[in-house]
Amino acid sequence: MAWDFSTEPEFQEQLDWVERFCREEVEPFDLVFPAAVRSKDPKIRALVQGLQQQVKDRGLWALFLDEELGGPGFGQLKLALINEILGRYPAAPGFFGTAAPDTGNMELLAMYGTPEQKERWLYPLMNQEIWSAYSMTEPQGGSDPNLFKTNAIRDGEEWVINGEKWFTSAGRYADILFVMTTSGMFVVPKDAPGVEFVEGGPRSHSHIRYNDVRVPLDHLLGPEDGAKVLAQRRLGGGRIHHAMRSIAQCKLAFDMMCERALSREAHGKVIAEHQMVQEAIADSYADINMLRLLVLWTAWTIDNSSTQQARTQIAACKYTCAKVLKDVSYRAIHIYGSLGTTDLTPLQAMWAGAPTMSVMDGVDEVHKVTVARNVLKDHRPHEGLWPTEYYPHKREAARKKFEALFAEDPELERYADGIAKYMANRNR
């Protein structure tokens, strides 16, 4: 049987390079030149492209795409192992061509785009010549497409889009918006007449109104009325990728926690010797590794079947990663003390990001319902009053299995009767 937790030496070499490159090149660069990947300054762009060329030379650009589209075609399991590293460094996904929300939008174009749409949008997105955002959730309906009101009506050679979207991540910084409507999924230029950015909302997650926005017919992505299918295809991959990167965040918080526990003293001894600190470390170790195994198993399932087949596992990863990130970062903050509550370390941002993780791409409660419903499909109600594992009935059925043996050996039957009497008295 094939059962292995090891990594091929050749790929481990790639992982080692990724870790070293992120630690020695990406992180220092990001600390001095934050948000450099999106900079339009030619000198900054040249520096960024120089680092990105190193990634491309290693065959690690656009990790999530198949080879025919310019990616390495690693599959989800290898992508998970790399994302465990990238997620530790906020800027790293951009240097590897795997930054959200562009990744999910590129996957949609790769799967549903026409050759013309790929030339117009996919390849420029891959080369970071343009940027995108995903405009799905609405103020009144959240992420439930059955409650969406944004619609597109065909008018001659154009579609006319009207509606309101909330929490369009990176919308202000995008060149094109993937807008989910009741009529289909559309690619809308951000500067199209009628695209209104509502002031007063969170700047990084835009509130947008679409007021009679007109786009040509060829801006429909996929089939008409097919937005729900496209959304599930996009969000399924996005959820598992968020979980992969969450592992890296949890590991970073854990490493910080352990380092601090060994470095501080309280009440006459190093705090790592206090039992409540040891409990926090032990619980975090178990939580992180359980999450990691769940995510790697899910990635393996996708590689060996499909995203649809792994839907239950993906949903479980989604809400579990938010919970583990919240719990581990919270414990780390407590071990750091007052320093952990400031913005002088990554911990505060991790803990504050956990609630966002629990609502983005669908709230955790919805995914728990999905898991419960799918799991229950594999179970059946018991017959009669008592459950299957009701001992009296199981013992009665088991006794019948030995009737022939008891007929041959009455002494053995008397022994069994004695045991039965003892168990009956004990259960009173």
> Cβ of 276: how many Cβ atoms within 10 Å?
11
What are residue 215's DSSP bridge partners? 159
Is residue 202 scored above 90 in pLDDT?
no
Establish how many alpha carbons lie within 13 A of residue 405's alpha carbon, considering only the half-sphere containing its beta carbon: 10
CA distance 238 to 361: 8
Mean local confidence (pLDDT), 209-217: 98
Structure tokens at 264: 């501080």
CA torsion 130→46→90→20, rounded to 10°? 130
Averaged pLDDT for residues 298-302: 95
Which percentage of the chain shows pLDDT scores above 70?
A: 99
| H and E: helices and strands count for the chain | 16, 10
pLDDT, tens digit, for every residue of 368-421?
Answer: 999 999 999 999 999 999 999 999 899 999 999 999 999 999 999 999 999 988
Q: Which residues, including other chains, have CB under 8 Å from residue 321's CB and lie 6 or more apart?
A: 242, 243, 246, 247, 291, 295, 357
CATH class of residue range 9-113 = mainly alpha
Average pLDDT over residues 179-200: 96
Computed over every residue of the chain, the mean pLDDT equals 94
Q: What are phi and psi of 164, to 5 degrees?
A: -140, 130
| Residues 322, 372: Cα–Cα separation, whole Å | 18
The DSSP code for 142 is B
DSSP annotation of 22 reads: I
DSSP 270-291: EGGGSHHHHHHHHHHHHHHHHH
Whole-number pLDDT of residue 426? 81
Does residue 267 register a pLDDT over 80? yes
What CATH code would you report for 132-221?
2.40.110.10
Confidence band, pLDDT 50/70/90 cuts, at residue 66: confident
Average of pLDDT values for 161-179? 96
What's the mean pLDDT in 55-81?
92
Each domain of the chain, given as residue ranges in start order, spans 9-113, 132-221, 228-376, 391-426
pLDDT above 90 (res 363): no
Write the CA distances from 85 to 18, 60, 78, integer angstroms: 7, 13, 12
| Domain 228-376 falls under CATH 2.70.170.10 | no
In Å, how far are 143, 166, 209, 264 from 213, measured between CA atoms? 22, 17, 9, 59
129-150: per-residue pLDDT in tens?
999 999 999 998 888 888 999 9
pLDDT on residue 360: 83
165 pairs with which residues across the strands?
208
Residue that has been written with the tokens 């996929």 in this structure = 222
15 φψ region: left (φ > 0), alpha (ψ -120 to 50), beta (else): alpha
Each residue's pLDDT tens digit, 70-113: 889 999 999 999 999 999 999 999 999 999 899 999 999 999 99
The candidate with the shortest Cα–Cα distance to 27, out of 118, 101, 88, is: 88
Give the per-residue pLDDT at 427. 64
pLDDT surpassing 70 at residue 428? no
Condensed to tens digits (0 to 9), the pLDDT of residues 302-332 reads: 999 988 899 999 999 999 999 999 999 999 9
The residue assigned the tokens 């002088």 is 344
- Grade residue 239 by pLDDT with cuts at 50, 70 and 90: confident
Phi, psi dihedral angles at 297 (to 5 degrees): -65, -40
Q: What tokens were used for 14?
A: 């790639």
Task: Give strand ranges (E) for 202-343.
Answer: 205-216, 220-221, 265-266, 269-270
Q: Which value, in Å, is the radius of gyration of the alpha carbons in the chain? A: 27
The model's confidence at residue 16, banded by pLDDT at 50, 70 and 90, is very high
Quote the distance between the C-alpha of residue 63 and its chain's center.
15
> What is the C-alpha separation between 240 and 231, in angstroms, rounded?
14
pLDDT at 414: 94
Which of 316, 318, 313 has the alpha carbon at shortest distance from 358? 318
pTM score, two decimals?
A: 0.90
